[in-house]
Structure 1
Amino acid sequence: MKPAVTKLTGFSHFFAAAGYSLGGFRRLIKEAAFRQELLFFAVSIILLLAVGATLSELMIAVVLFLALFAIEALNTAIEEVIDRISPEISMVGKHAKDLGSFAVLCMLAACGLFLMFTIGKHLLLG
């Protein structure tokens, strides 16, 4: 018979969830791609500030990068699960990893396009 699992509620649940999120961040920071994306984020914010981006433009950039980080985390999770359940090379595993990688690429493109448009607008229109 399985032992009963006590479900956390209230502040206990909040702190447990925060701990799981911190664990996810600690795992993700080990990924070179994520560290590069963090650098891309920092440089982007500095550039946006340098060209005089508005608060709304800065907030859009932050939201886009948060979405990028979330998709990078999901991509890493997919890779870990595939490597765990299918250590041998399989087409299904390859497709899953390729799709996760494509999702990250799409978000990188979204971030890059927004930055090019916003920085270009501020440089051309001053």
Structure 2
Amino acid sequence: MKRLWNALMYSLFGLKDTFVMERAFRQEIIATSILLPLALYIKVSLCLKLLLIVCNITVLIVELLNTSLELIADIVSPGFNIKVKHAKDCGSAAVFLSLVSWFIVWMVAFSQWLCAL
């Protein structure tokens, strides 16, 4: 139980630190806090509701991974390094693609919801 408790605490510290340090993560948390209740409210299939929720969480996960990649890259190579730049660009691209998928799923949900009205 102690190990599980410690893992929970480390995770919460990581969420808090990222929220404090990363503006993009704060924006995504704000969007998620608005969109998750909306996902539960709109009248779409249960499958689509779950997909909306999973896409929201996936964006947060990818942002956390990108932030950790950037922090480690800055420690390992404080000066300019083309390979580090490439790694950071890949992390940024991963965040972008998760946001694109988030947007697509929300547009499908909104279109289904509006058609049902």
TM-score by length of 1: 0.83
Distance 1:40 1:82 in 2: 28
In the aligned structure 1, how far is the partner of 2:41 from the partner of 2:58? Answer: 23
Structure showing greater radius of gyration is 1
Once the two structures are TM-superposed, the CA of residue 47 in structure 1 deviates from its matched residue by 4.2
Aligned to 1:86: 77
Of 48, 53, 57, the residue aligned with 1:57 is: 48
Q: Quote the Cα distance in structure 1 between the aligned partners of 2:40 and 2:91.
A: 31
Unmatched segments (≥5 aa) in structure 1: 1-10
Does the residue aligned with 2:43 lie in a helix, a strand or coil?
Answer: coil
Find the partner of 1:116 among 90, 107, 112.
107
Aligned residue pair count:
116
Bigger mean CA offset, 69-78 vs 43-52: 43-52
User: How much identity, in percent, do the aligned residues show?
Assistant: 30
In 2, Cα distance between equivalents of 1:39 and 1:112: 15
Note the aligned Cα RMSD (angstroms).
1.6
Unaligned 5+ segments in structure 2 are none
Supply the AA of the counterpart residue of 1:88.
G
